[in-house]
């Protein structure tokens, strides 16, 4: 049974807007966030698109299982995270990790960008013989402010590659071109990037297969699964498994499962008329109050408000 990237599509994966000043993990009023499905699979591990938007007020937010990596081709953009925001100019890039809430706002001109959404396990398998120590996942695991960025001449190199890749799109489903293009861009960005070694030690590649099995099991199991349950299935202690999983994926297994269950709940809120309590139980939450608390924290609105906004 192959792993899926997330649950079934949530409507049109639309977005609602809120001013950039509202960004911040400590604030109670957070933006409405959409949960998107990009149809990723082992046969199509990357979705690459050219997108364009005019300058509009407010920021738009989403979060998804696929890793997001993009390059700005024209215009000006602001990228928003829970506790940090930054300005992006042509030739610069951004990263978003698994189910990491992130937003963007066009601040000047018509904004054209090349966007990749990548199946996390695809990066695990993309290890190069010539660069065996290169951890492709690391830029998506570190805090947003510490992720690699292009400056000076490197911006022009990134921009030239991105425009060449954009000219070759769209390609057929399953074509390796998007993944190769993403790796080419990542390689340039990682060339001069030096994350603090004491905080981000090299990942132990020998555990990639174990992590992939855990991800597949979690994504294909209805409701919550525990770290102890999966660790036992992998023949590991809970402590060792938890350390390995978080080290490779950038998020604890417990948080990974909760976000997956919340994503499924978000889908059901928009695709069914079932009550919030019924959806909460079906998605593995024992108490609807706990479900509502978790949902509010991740999506910025209550389950009822999410349903009302998404169905408008």
Domain boundary among 125, 157, 190: 190
Q: Tell me: the pLDDT tens digits for 127-182?
A: 655 566 777 888 998 889 999 999 989 999 999 999 999 888 865 554 557 888 89
Q: Which domain holds residue 134?
A: 17-190
Q: Is residue 46 one of the residues assigned to a domain?
A: yes
Q: With cut-offs at 50, 70 and 90, classify the pLDDT of residue 36.
A: low
Name the residue with tokens 């950039």.
Answer: 20
At residue 77, the pLDDT reads 92
Are residues 72 and 134 both part of a single domain? yes
Query: Which residues does 173 contact at the CB level (< 8 Å), separation at least 6?
Result: 43, 44
pLDDT surpassing 50 at residue 29: no
Domain boundary among 160, 190, 220: 190
Q: With cut-offs at 50, 70 and 90, classify the pLDDT of residue 115.
A: very high
Are residues 40 and 160 both part of a single domain? yes
Cis (ω within 30 of 0) for the bond into 166?
no
Q: Is residue 210 one of the residues assigned to a domain?
A: yes
Q: With cut-offs at 50, 70 and 90, classify the pLDDT of residue 248.
A: confident
For residue 158, give Cα distances in angstroms to 54, 110, 153, 183, 252: 23, 19, 9, 12, 32
> CA-CA distance, 138 to 126, in Å (whole number)?
13
CATH code, 236? 1.10.10.60
Q: Is residue 11 one of the residues assigned to a domain?
A: no
Q: 115 or 309: whose pLDDT is higher?
A: 115
> Residue 203: beta bridge partners?
none
At residue 204, the pLDDT reads 64
Q: Domain tally for the chain?
A: 2
Are residues 217 and 169 both part of a single domain? no
Closest CA to 189 of 167, 169, 168, 162: 162
Are residues 37 and 166 both part of a single domain? yes
Residue 108: helix, strand or coil by DSSP? strand
pLDDT surpassing 60 at residue 17: no
Q: Considering the entire predicted model, what is its pTM?
A: 0.75
Are residues 186 and 98 both part of a single domain? yes
Are residues 146 and 242 both part of a single domain? no
At residue 285, the pLDDT reads 93
> What H or E segment, with its residue span, contains residue 289?
helix 288-299
Per residue, the 3-state secondary structure of 15-76, as one string, reads: CCEECHHHCCCCCCCCCCCEECCCCCCCCCCEEEEEEEECCCCCEEEEECCCEEEEEEEEEE
At residue 175, the pLDDT reads 56
Are residues 41 and 99 both part of a single domain? yes
Helices (H), 220-252: 227-233, 238-249
């Amino acid at each position: 049974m192959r792993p899926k990237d997330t649950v079934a599509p949530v409507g049109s994966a639309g977005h609602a807007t809120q001013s950039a000043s509202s960004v911040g993990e400590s604030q109670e009023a957070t933006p409405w966030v959409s949960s998107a499905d990009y149809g990723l699979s082992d046969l199509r591990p990357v979705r690459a698109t050219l997108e364009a938007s005019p300058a509009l007020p407010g920021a738009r937010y989403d979060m998804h299982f696929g890793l997001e990596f993009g390059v700005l081709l024209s215009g000006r953009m602001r990228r928003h995270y829970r506790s940090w925001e930054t300005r992006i100019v042509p030739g610069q890039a951004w990263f978003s990790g698994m189910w990491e809430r992130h937003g963007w706002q066009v601040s000047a001109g018509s904004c054209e960008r090349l966007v990749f959404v990548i199946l996390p396990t695809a990066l695990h398998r993309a290890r190069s013989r010539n660069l065996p120590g290169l951890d492709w996942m690391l830029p998506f695991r570190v805090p947003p402010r510490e992720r690699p960025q292009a400056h000076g001449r490197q911006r022009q190199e990134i921009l030239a590659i991105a425009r060449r890749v954009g000219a070759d799109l769209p390609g057929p489903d399953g074509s390796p071109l998007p993944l190769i293009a993403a790796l080419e861009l990542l390689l340039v960005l990682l060339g001069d990037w030096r994350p603090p070694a004491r905080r981000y030690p090299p990942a132990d590649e020998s555990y990639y297969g174990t992590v992939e099995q855990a991800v597949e099991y979690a994504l294909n199991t209805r409701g919550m699964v525990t770290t102890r349950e999966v660790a036992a299935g992998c023949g590991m202690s809970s402590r060792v498994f938890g350390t390995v999983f978080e080290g490779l994926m950038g998020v604890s297994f417990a948080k990974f499962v909760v976000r997956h269950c919340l994503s499924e709940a978000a889908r059901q809120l928009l695709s069914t008329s079932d009550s919030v309590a019924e959806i909460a139980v079906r998605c593995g939450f024992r108490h609807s109050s706990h479900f509502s608390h978790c949902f509010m924290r991740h999506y910025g609105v209550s389950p009822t408000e999410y349903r009302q906004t998404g169905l408008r």
